[in-house]
Structure 1
Amino acid sequence: MALPYTLTPGFIEAVDNLIQDTAVPDSALHSRSKQYLDIFDDATVVRPVWSQRIRVPSPFTTPGLFNAMFQIADELGLAAGKRYVSAAICVCAEHAARAHAAAGADSELRGALVRALHQLSSTWAAFLLWPFYAHGEEECFRNDGRRDMPPPSGDETPTAKSIARAQRRRLKALVMARDNSCCFLSSGLDNSVYSRGMSLPPGVTRVAFCCTVSIIPREVLAQPAADASEDRSGIQPMSDQDITSGILQRFCGVQDAATLVEQAQGPANTLLVHEWGALSFSMFLWWLLPTETPDHYEIKNPNPIYNIGNGIPPPSHVTFADHSPSAMGSVELPAPALLRAHAALGEVLHRSGALATFQTLRHSSPEPFPNSLCPAGTGSAFWRSVVEYEGPEPDPTNVLIKLVSVALNLVDAFVQAQGIPGLVPGYPSIPVFDGAGIVEEVGAEVTNVAKDDKVHCLHWLVQGTFDVDNRHSTFQEYTLQPAKYVEKAATVSLCLATVVNGIRGHEESSNSARFTPPWEEGSTTKHAGQAALILGGGTNVGQYGFSPIITTASPKNTSLLRSLGAAHVLDRALSPDTLRAALSESTTVTAAAAAPITYVYDAFGHSCDAQLLGYSVLAPGGA
C-alpha cells in the first residue's frame, strides 16, 4: 500500500518551507487554511472513515481536531504551533488539488480535499495523540516500580531491568529532595520517608505513596524502529519516533528528538505525586497550565469526577521550588516547555474528541474494533489497525486473515451462473470460497495459529456446512474464519475439502462413503482388494481422491495419474457403452481379481452422463 502523503519527507519539507516563508504572514496563512476547512459544511463528511465505523458514536472529527489545535495554540502561546497547523492544512489541500487536476478526474474537487484533510487529521491522531494516550493507559496495567523498592541483594548480577530500577531510584531521590518529599496534589508526605521517622513538614498533614511520573514519557519518543518485514501498512521504518517527535516539536515548540529524549530522563521531566495522581497524569486526565509567573501553574482537571487530590480537593495552583540541600547541589525544576507540551496534548485530546474515541476503542469493544484488534501504542500500529483497517472483527475463536491469494473453483462458476440456492440467498453477496493469506489478528481463545502465520482457509466449511456470511468469503481483502478451519499450509484447497467430505465425512448428516480416516489404525489396508472408480481423475478434485484403481481423464494426464496410484486410466471422451466395456476388462486385470466396483467418485459433478455411468457400473451395496 502506498505511503500516505502526510507521512512522506516531501510533505514535511513542503510544510517546513511554507512555515519559513516570511512573505506569507501568520494571519494570511491562517485565513488560507480556514478557507479549506469551510468545505466541511456538511455534517456527513466531518468524520474520517475509521471514526465513522465505530459503533459507539465517535466525537472525533477532522475540523474538530484542527480547530482544537488552533484554539490551544492561541491559549498556550504556541504561535509557531498555530503556523505549523495552518501550513500543514494548506500543503495537504493544495497537493490534493494538484493531484486531482493532473489526473483529470471527473469527480468533484471537494471530495478530494475532504479525503486529503481526513488523512492529515488521521495522521495526527495516529502519530501524535494515540502514542501518548496508549502509553498512559498501559501505565495502569503495569507495575513499573514507581514506588520505592528495596535495594538489590549484594549477589544480584546487573541486568537491564536492575539498572533501570537503580536509575529510577536515583531519579526519585533527586525529585524528592527537590520537592521536599511531598505530593503537591494531596499535600501528603511520601510514605517511605515518614516510615523512617521524618516528621511532617509545616502544612503537611497526610501521608501518601508518592511516585515519579514523566511529563513527556521517554518511551514514546525512543521507540525502536519498526521491523520492515512485519510492516504491511506501507509506513517505512523511519516511522514512529521521528514522526511523533517531529509533530510534537513543530506544534508544541519542544526541542529536537535527541535533546528531548535526553532531557526526558532527568528531574526536568519529572513530577512527584501520589500514585493515582501519577497514573491519571499519564492518562491526560489532568495537566498543568503555565501562568505569567515563572514556575507557577494552574492545575487543570477538566472532569472533576476524577479525584486527583487523593480524597481531598486538590489546590488550584502549584509553584515549584528547589528544596534540595545545598550539599546536593541544585535540582532542575519541571521544564516549562515540557509541561506546556503535556498540557497541549491533554487539551487537544479532550477538545477534539480523540480521548473519548480512544477510550471507546480501548475499553468498549466496539464493532469493528474490539479489544483483540486494539492497536499497540505506536502510530504505525494505529494507522494499520484502525485507519486503514476495513475488515470484520474476530470473536474469541475466530482468526482474521489478510488474504494474499484466492482460488477460483468450479463451484464459483456454478454460483456465478446459477446462484445456487443456499449459497446465494440474498444480495449483496461476496463470492469465492478458497483463499490463502497471513494471519492479521487472532481471537483470545485461538491457540493453533498466531499473528503473521501463513495459512489456508475455506469459507464453506464454517460450521460444517455451506455458509452465507459475507465476512467468511475470500474474494476480499480480509476474511474472518473459525480457527479450527484454518491451517498452516498453502497447498491444500477447497478441492481437498470436497474429497474429504465426500469420502471420509462421518457426521450423521453426511452423505459420504464413510471411509476410515487415514490417521486411524488399519485405514490403509481396510479397503484392499476392492475396485474403485474416479470419474474425472485429472481434475484437482480427482487428484485429491484416494489412490484410484481406475479413473477417467484426458489421455494427456495418464502419466500424472499413474504416478498418483491409478492402475488404469480410461479416456474420458469414450462413450458410456465403450467405458462400461473397458471397465469390465479393467476389473479383471487388477489386483481386485475381477471384483465388482464398490466405490465410484464423480470429481466433476456436473455431467448427467457421468453420473449415470457411475450408477450403472456400481455394484449392489456400493457407494
Structure 2
Amino acid sequence: MSTQQALWLPGIGQDFVVGTKEIDTPDPGQLLVKIISSGLNPLDWKIQDSGYIQFVPSYPAVIGEEAAGTVEAVGEGVTDFKKGDRIFFQAQIGSKFTTFQQYCIVFAYSAAKIPENISFDQAASVQVGIIPFAVALYAQQPEGLAHLAPWLEGGHGKYAGQPIVIMGGTSTLGQYATQLARLSGFSPLITTASFHNTELLSSLGATHVLDRKLSTAALKDAIAKITSTPIALAFDAISLPDTQQTAHDIITAGGTVITVRAPQVDNKSEDKVVQQVVGIIHAPPNRELGKSFMPVLTQWLADGTIKPNTVEVVPGGLNGVSSGLQRLKNNLVNGKKLVVRPWETA
C-alpha cells in the first residue's frame, strides 16, 4: 500500500509529529484528493490542547478541517467530478478524511470546484469560514433559522430593511457572514471590528463598522443612531463570553443570537434565544443545503460575488502547522487566513 506524509497528534496536550500514513482508497460517493493547501483553524489548537471527542474519538490522530487540492481518484457512483478537477472542501471526522496530510478522502456531496481565478491557497480558506453562517441562517430548524437562502429563487435581497449585527466582522467567519448577509439583503448591516478594517468590511457589504472595544451601553447607543428598528438577529463570529453577553444584551425581546461556541451568557433573558450553530455540512440535515450551495459558491467566487479571505502561507509544510496554530491561539492573526502546503514538508 502506498504511503504519504501526515501530521500526527499522538494524544491530548502532546506535540504534533510528522510521520507516514497509508493512502486510502475512495469508497462509493467519495473522492481521493491530493491536498495542495490546508487551512488552519482555532478548533485545531483546541483539539490539541483539550481534545474534542466528537471530532477525535481516539489517538493517535490526524486532524485538520479544510483544504483544497486535485482529485486523484473517484469512487463508484460519482458523476460530478473527475481526476484532475481542482476542488475545495470541509473535512469529515476521522483520520482518513482530515487535512493535515498529503492525501485524504472527501465526500463528493461536500466538495466544490475551484474557479480559475481562485488559487488553492485562497480556496482552502472558504468552506469552514462560510458554512457556519450558511447553516445558521439557511438550514432548516433546529440546525438553523430556516431563512430563504440567497441562492434560491426569491432569496436574494429578501431581508431588506431587517438589521443584523455581526460581532467580529474581520474574523474569517465574520468576513463570510458579512458577504452572505449582504446577499440576503439585511440592512443596516452592522459589524464590530477595529476601525482600521473599515474599508475591508465596507467592501464586503457592511453598511456600518463600529469599534469592537465599545462597551455594551455605548454599542447600544451607536446602533440606535443608525436604526430605530430593533435588532432581532446577531451573529457572534468570536463567541467569547463577553461578545456573547454583548450580543445578547443588544438584541430585542424575541431576538436570536447565533454563536459558534457553546453559549456562555449570564442572566440570560427568557425571551431571547442564544443558539450555537454547528457549522458542519456533513450533518445529515445539512447535506441538501450543501448540495444546493456548493455549485453556486463556485460561481460566486468566479464572478467576485464572494471574495475569499486574504491568505498567508506558513512555511515548512506540515511542520509549519504548530507555529501557525500558536499564532492563532495567541490572537496574533487579524483579517487573514493561515494555510500550509503539505507537499512542502521537508
Compute the TM-score of the two structures, normalised by the length of structure 2. Answer: 0.61
SS at match of 2:192: strand
Residue equivalent to 1:564: 204
- Native 8 Å contact 1:580 1:613 kept in 2: no
Selected match of 2:105 from 440, 462, 480: 480
Confirm whether residue 399 of structure 1 aligns to residue 31 of structure 2: yes
Task: Output aligned runs, 1:13-162, within 5 Å.
Answer: none
- Native 8 Å contact 1:394 1:442 kept in 2: yes
When the two structures are aligned, how many residues end up with a matched partner? Answer: 223
Q: How many Å separate the matches in 1 of 2:152 and 2:139?
A: 14
CA RMSD of aligned residues (A): 2.0
Residue equivalent to 2:265: none
Structure 1 pair 567–389 and aligned structure 2 pair: CA distance change class (3 A): closer
Task: Output aligned runs, 1:98-497, within 5 Å.
Answer: 390-460=22-92, 467=93, 469-489=94-114, 490=120, 491=123, 492-497=126-131
Q: How many Å separate the matches in 1 of 2:37 and 2:207?
A: 35
- Native 8 Å contact 2:164 2:232 kept in 1: yes
Task: Output aligned runs, 1:577-596, within 5 Å.
Answer: 577-587=217-227, 594-596=228-230
Residue equivalent to 2:164: 532
Selected match of 2:149 from 517, 536, 542: 517
Residue equivalent to 2:248: 615
Per-residue deviation, 1:509:
4.2
Selected match of 1:555 from 183, 195, 219: 195
Q: How many Å separate the matches in 1 of 2:216 and 2:202?
A: 22
Match for 1:585: what amino acid? K
Match for 1:501: what amino acid? V
SS at match of 1:484: helix
Per-residue deviation, 1:608:
0.6
Per-residue deviation, 1:422:
1.0
Q: Deviations over 1:126-162 (max 9, x none)?
A: xxxxxxxxxxxxxxxxxxxxxxxxxxxxxxxxxxxxx
SS at match of 2:166: strand
SS at match of 1:542: helix
Q: Deviations over 1:222-258 (max 9, x none)?
A: xxxxxxxxxxxxxxxxxxxxxxxxxxxxxxxxxxxxx
- Native 8 Å contact 2:216 2:249 kept in 1: no
Per-residue deviation, 1:389:
9.5
Residue equivalent to 1:501: 135
Residue equivalent to 1:236: none
SS at match of 1:583: helix
Q: How many Å separate the matches in 2 of 1:410 and 1:619?
A: 30
- Native 8 Å contact 2:150 2:157 kept in 1: no
Structure 1 pair 529–509 and aligned structure 2 pair: CA distance change class (3 A): closer
Selected match of 1:602 from 231, 236, 240: 236
Q: How many Å separate the matches in 2 of 1:501 and 1:431?
A: 22
Residue equivalent to 1:88: none
Q: How many Å separate the matches in 2 of 1:612 and 1:513?
A: 20
Q: Which 5+ residue runs of structure 2 have no aligned equivalent? A: 4-19, 115-119, 257-346
- Native 8 Å contact 1:576 1:609 kept in 2: no
Q: Deviations over 1:464-519 (max 9, x none)?
A: xxx3x21110111111011111111253331011221222222x541x23221112
Per-residue deviation, 1:598:
1.4
Compute the TM-score of the two structures, normalised by the length of structure 1. Answer: 0.34
Higher strand share: 2
Match for 1:499: what amino acid? F
Structure 1 pair 417–535 and aligned structure 2 pair: CA distance change class (3 A): same
Per-residue deviation, 1:544:
0.7
- Native 8 Å contact 1:403 1:436 kept in 2: yes
Residue equivalent to 1:222: none
